Amino acid sequence: MSGFRLEKGGRIDRSRPLSFTFEGVSYEGYAGDTLGSALMANGVSMLGRSFKYHRPRGLLAAGLDEPNAIMQLEDGAQARPNVKATGVELYDGLRAAPVNAWPSLSFDLLSVNSMFARFIPAAFYYKTFMWPHWSLFEPAIRRAAGLGVSPEASDEDIYDKRYAACDVLVVGGGPAGLQAAQAASRSGARVMLVDHDAQWGGSLMASNRHVGQDPADDWIGRVVEELRAAPETQLLNRTLAFGFYDHGLVGLCERLTDHLPLAERSGPRLRFWKVRAKSVILATGAIERPLVFPNNDRPGVMLAGAGATYAARYAAAPGRRAVFAVNNDSGYESAAVLRRLGVDIAAIADARPGLSAKGAQMAASGINVFTASTITNVRGGKKVRAAELHKLDDDGQAVKGSAALVECDTVLTSGGWSPVVHLYSQAGGKLRFDEQIQAFVPRECGQHVLCVGAAGGEFSLTQGLADAARAGAAAARDCGFDAADIEPATVDGEAFGNIRPIWQVDVSGLAGERGKAWLDFQNDVTSDDVALAIRENFKSVEHVKRYTTLGMASDQGKTSNVNGIGVMEGALGKPMAQVGTTTFRPPYDPIEIGAFAGRRVGENIAPLRPLAAEDAHEMLGARFEDYGGWRRPAFYAQDGEDEHAAVRREALAVRDGVGLFEASPLGKIEVAGADAREFLNRFYVNNMATLKPQRCRYGVMLDENGVVLDDGVLACLGPNRYLAGTTSGHAALIADNMDEWLQCEWPDLDVVVQEVTTNWAVMNVNGPRARDLLRKFDCSIDLAAEAFPHMHVREGEIEGVACRIQRVSFSGELSYEVAVPWGFGASFWAALMDAGREFGVSPFGVETLMALRVEKGFLHVGADTDGMTLPQDIGFGGVISRKAADFIGRRSTMRPDSLRDDRRQFVGLECLDGSAKPLTVGAHVLLPESAPPALTQGWVTSSVYSAALGKPVALGMVANGRERIGEEVKIWDRGVSRRARISAPGAYDPEGKRLHV
Amino acid sequence: MLQISCPYCGARAEIEFRCGGQAHLERPGPHDQVSDRQWAEYLFYRDNPKGVSLERWVHRFGCRQWFNVARSTLTHEILAVYGMGEQPPQLEGTKR
Ligand SMILES: [Zn+2]
């Protein structure tokens, strides 16, 4: 234990102590702490085990760049796996556990992996566990190398979504972001300023700096107050801008309740914002890079800036005696912060040959500064005991001689800073390598986006504020606002200096075993792994990433990418600018899937549409199913009936008496206009030019590939008025298609198309007593057989309500489809049930209707047809040959493949084995003597038990089937064969006598 | 997600629209005078430009009107929006 709580200072509220547990042990922190800072203040330095080798790990960073301290929070429905301790605001009662240790952090059985470290290089698993198959080993390896545990209880939280638009979106609430937002906001532009932190100020927070004459905290407070007061400006803290998409769209995730104790949480947990900004200013800062040296992953080895942040912001010191290893001036400032707060600075190793001004200042104040030196090893296992420092040779590639062995309990390193260009790059921005700061910086972008401050590679705060002020005003002006330039303040304590890159130091000349140097802490990738990948000819930066896992997973290489590219530079002998970066992809930091799902979970993923008389169906015992997005009765179960019994009973009721079926979902599209007839004739396979008013015609529609797309009844309501019927699931699609053809291909036609499916509720009165039942109603339409024959349509009134009646039948019985305005649907159903009592009317469901239509051999598009079915395959060859005009898809029905005579055709299949069991849908049709494996002749597409015929009936698609009617075939399903005979479709009432009554 | 300016409704998010593929395809006909090759080209052969793509879109969850869009496949920038039946504006890199 090396960390401790400083006596005073920090932005924590010592009057609000909070208790929490880590690995079951209770600790105390304060409001304002993160889980990471509270653990450090309690002296807990080991926070996790590494992914592959299970090495002990502690905090490296203080922000979202933290790769090691991955936590599992809470349990049950509240469980949150893989959370960075540095991004979790402490709350009372918080329970945290490490994710990758078993049985416990200090005694991890799998840490034996680290003893075999030399045997687990990059791609080791892929190379070793090849035989007989990787999948045999994968589960065990995944368990050993897993991260958090997926919650088993279902997530009870609510997730919110919001759309927003603004003129200027500023990402990052540090000095540059605040300054840019202020400049834009004063113009009156709509400004949004977002930061993932709970507090504003970024790197200025709790710093010792002054902005102008004022302490930094005062300046932050003043700017935030001004922005809060600006009516068109919105500030969102605890809000991460995680993705930059096309046309100025930025994804934000606002954490609304994660900082509260569980019992105090209410309302949505996260809010996912989709913000469309005219101009975006990225003030996302920079991430410090660790130095790469042996055992640089030991708990207690941290980034210098993070050490200063813990001490200054959270009053949590990383240790009592620190050694610094730096290659630029920023580390000196961090050392100064820690020293001021009482931490002993044992030594500073600076890779640069001469003393910088900062270095000289530090040396003059009595600190031991080693120039041209760096750290080459850390002594100690679970905590730091001492640092080895060595002199660097002249080109900075190797070490020579012995410099010092310095006792310490923490090591703080700074290998330079990398601008956070992730969002810029996601926006399509190109990067360039900046020699001055040895990092990738923004170059150009097609979108309206600008990086300011450290994110733009400008590490001087004074210059950064000036740039930000200018950028903010310019962004507002671009959006048409009259923005005045504001005079930015200067900031004291400038520090960065020049940098001496030492991506990897060759320590092979030193005596003794030193171990690995870590590049990517989260994925356990060492500099040796990168070297190995390159030796094996993985030379593209993207390939090295995949082969070694450098920069993968939730970390995405925040602290490791540039170091990795630096190591590649050495190994490939080509400059970093040419090595390039891997692609930056959203999200910048992991976002819970719930945020993206929002309210679209459970039954709201795809809400089902209710029927007009849903309540009545419910009361009648309907078993509902999802049919094409509609919640419809499959059947109505009586007295414990199963599906088969219910369907049999309902089917017989229709055949023998009368049934009632709600057919409201049937697609209804009104087509009107002077050219409606011409248009429909081009749309259907059938000749619709001859369809007369008050008549209906069954028709088939194709797509341009000639494939059967849909079918239905077209009703002619008047000379220029039609009602096109579609299948229930296809109404919107067909209406869309009609619009597309009219607008894009045939704009000269005078036609209007309107889908009216839900304007009309449709009740299907079906069966020999259907007319008797309807005659109970006061109806303006003459229902007599000769006045209103089969395939006719009438418009009129029923009980004073407008209605349309079509005499069409999908059952083969006398059948009326009666449409009334949707709002009358429920009462009409009730009246039909009531009036039908004397005829023994039976409600029937979709499954019963399907049984009736299979008995009749009526085609069901999508069940009997598939994506290869052409109209001639379902018996429309004659219709086509009698029609002269072109129609959609016609040319495709004439291709050589369409004219093959062995195409699969729609036929009936009659069972010959005497069994009552229907054939299996999908079973193969084979030649009687063939034994599988054999070339299939086709398959069963629909199959039911026919109550009316007392035997199973089936339909299928069979090669050249119409020519083969009467031929015996074998129906084969997963090893079981049955005998059947090919027949014409339609086993029940093949002459159709029952229709014309 | 793109932001597309419907000529009738103004700027809206891409989720309100549906892309109908390459614009300015000409449907060959009449059907009995079209060769298999011509028909195949109409059905299946499409430009795959690196640069300006001319495509038709419909404001599906809006005014339901179709229109043409010139879009850069490199930057996703929308360079022009123009009506059905209109010729595309002269744009650098447009293949006609
Ligand atoms: Zn529109």
Beta carbons of B13 and A736 less than 8 Å apart: no
**Integer Cα distance of A615 and A945 in angstroms:** 30
Q: A234 C-alpha to center of ligand 1: Å?
A: 30
Q: In degrees rounded to 5, what are phi and psi of residue A185?
A: -65, -35
Q: How far is the centre of ligand 1, averaged over its atoms, from the C-alpha of A188 (Å)? A: 30
Mean pLDDT of chain A, nearest integer: 93
- In this complex, do A249 and B60 lie within 8 Å of one another by their Cβ atoms? no
Q: Per-residue pLDDT for B91 more than 90?
A: no
Q: Which residues of B touch A681 (CB under 8 A)?
A: none
The strand pair at B78-83 and A449-451 is best described as unpaired
Instruction: Tell me which residue in B27, B36, B64 faces A739 most closely, judged by beta carbons.
Output: B64
| Whether the predicted pLDDT of A175 surpasses 80 | yes
Strands A667-672 and A622-627: unpaired
Task: Say how many Å lie between the CA of residue B4 and the centre of ligand 1.
Answer: 10
* Burial of B95 (C-beta count, 10 Å sphere; 0-12/13-18/19+): exposed
User: What superfamily in CATH does domain B3-83 come from?
Assistant: Folate-binding superfamily (3.30.2270.10)
This prediction's pTM = 0.91
Res A135 pLDDT > 80 = no
Which tens digits make up the pLDDT trace of A616-659? Answer: 999 999 999 999 999 999 999 999 899 999 999 999 999 999 99
Mean pLDDT for A902-927 is 96
CA torsion through residues A823, A826, A829, A835, sign: negative
Is the pLDDT at A156 greater than 80, yes or no?
yes
User: Is B13 in Cβ contact with A891 (below 8 Å)?
Assistant: no
Parse chain B into domains and list their residue ranges.
Answer: 3-83
**A145 pLDDT more than 60:** no
DSSP string covering A162-226, please? Answer: EEEEEEEEEE--SHHHHHHHHHHHTTT--EEEE-SSSSS-GGGTT-S-EETTEEHHHHHHHHHHH
Q: What is the pLDDT of residue A117?
A: 52
What is the model's pLDDT at position A397? 79
pLDDT in tens, A198-234: 999 999 997 888 999 999 999 999 999 999 999 999 9
Q: Which residue of chain B is at minimal alpha-carbon distance from A886?
A: B31
Query: Cβ of A886 and B84 within 8 Å?
Result: no
Residues of B in contact with A446 (CB under 8 A): 75, 77
Q: What is the pLDDT of residue B90?
A: 87
Per-residue pLDDT, A296: 95
Paired strand residues for A192: A169, A234
Residues 6 or more apart whose CB falls under 8 angstroms from that of A865 comprise A708, A859, A873, A874, A906, A941, A957
* A163/B13 Cβ within 8 A: yes
The reported pLDDT for the residue numbered B96 is 47
Burial class of residue A608 in the structure, from the number of CB atoms within 10 Å of its CB (0-12 exposed, 13-18 middle, 19+ buried): middle
Ligand 1 centroid to B66 CA: how many Å? 8
> Residue A888 C-alpha to ligand 1 middle, in angstroms?
26
ipTM of this complex prediction, to 2 decimal places: 0.97
| Contact (CB<8Å) B39/A892 | yes
Tokens of A962: 């119409």
Would you place residue A119 in the very low, low, confident or very high pLDDT band (cuts 50, 70, 90)?
A: low
- ∠ CA A70-A71-A76, nearest 5°, is 145
Under an 8 Å CB criterion, which residues of B touch A? 1-3, 13, 20, 27-32, 34, 36, 39, 43, 56, 58, 60, 64-66, 75-78, 84-85
Q: Could you tell me if A714 and A724 are in contact, meaning their C-beta atoms sit under 8 angstroms apart?
A: yes
Q: What number is the average pLDDT over the span A770-788?
A: 98
Which residues sit opposite A622 in a β-bridge? A636
CB contact under 8 A, A892 and B85: no
**Cα separation of A368 and B73, whole Å?**
58
Cα A595 to averaged position of ligand 1 atoms, centre (Å): 29
Distance A159 CA to ligand 1 centre (A): 30
In this predicted structure, what is the pLDDT of residue A118? 52
In this prediction, residue A514 carries a pLDDT of 79
Tokens of B68: 């043409």
Q: Is the pLDDT of residue A573 over 70?
A: yes
Task: Please compute the mean of the pLDDT values over residues A6-28 and round it to a whole number.
Answer: 96
- When pLDDT is averaged across residues B10-27 and rounded to a whole number, the result is 96
For residue A515, pLDDT over 90 is answered with no
Across the interface, do B66 and A892 touch by the CB < 8 Å criterion? no
User: How far is CA A829 from each of CA A504, A626, A748, A836, A989, rounded to the nearest angstrom?
Assistant: 81, 21, 43, 10, 29
CB contact under 8 A, B20 and A895: no
CA pair distance A411, A323, nearest whole angstrom: 5
Nearest-Cα distance to chain A for B1, in Å, is: 5
CB within 8 Å of B33: residues ≥ 6 apart: none
What is the structure's pLDDT at A988?
96
Taking the alpha carbons of A540, A546, A550, A553 in that order, is the dihedral positive or negative? positive
Residues of A in contact with B39 (CB under 8 A): 891-892, 895
Q: Under a CB-based contact definition with an 8 Å cutoff, are residues B70 and B79 in contact?
A: yes
State whether A246 and B30 contact (CB < 8 Å): no
A798's CB contacts (< 8 A; 6+ apart) are A777, A778, A779, A780, A781, A818, A820, A828
The answer, yes or no, to whether residue A449 has pLDDT greater than 90, is yes
Residues A271-326: tens digit of each pLDDT: 999 999 999 999 999 999 999 999 999 999 999 999 999 999 999 999 999 999 99
Chain B residues within an 8 Å CB radius of A245: 1
Instruction: Give the number of A-B residue pairs with CB atoms closer than 8 Å.
Output: 59
Give A69-72's long-range contacts (Cβ < 8 A, gap of 24+): A69/A35, A69/A36, A69/A39, A70/A98, A70/A99, A70/A100, A70/A147, A70/A148, A70/A522, A70/A554, A71/A35, A71/A47, A71/A96, A71/A97, A71/A98, A71/A99, A71/A148, A72/A96, A72/A97, A72/A98, A72/A99, A72/A148, A72/A149
* Amino acid at position A940, single letter: V
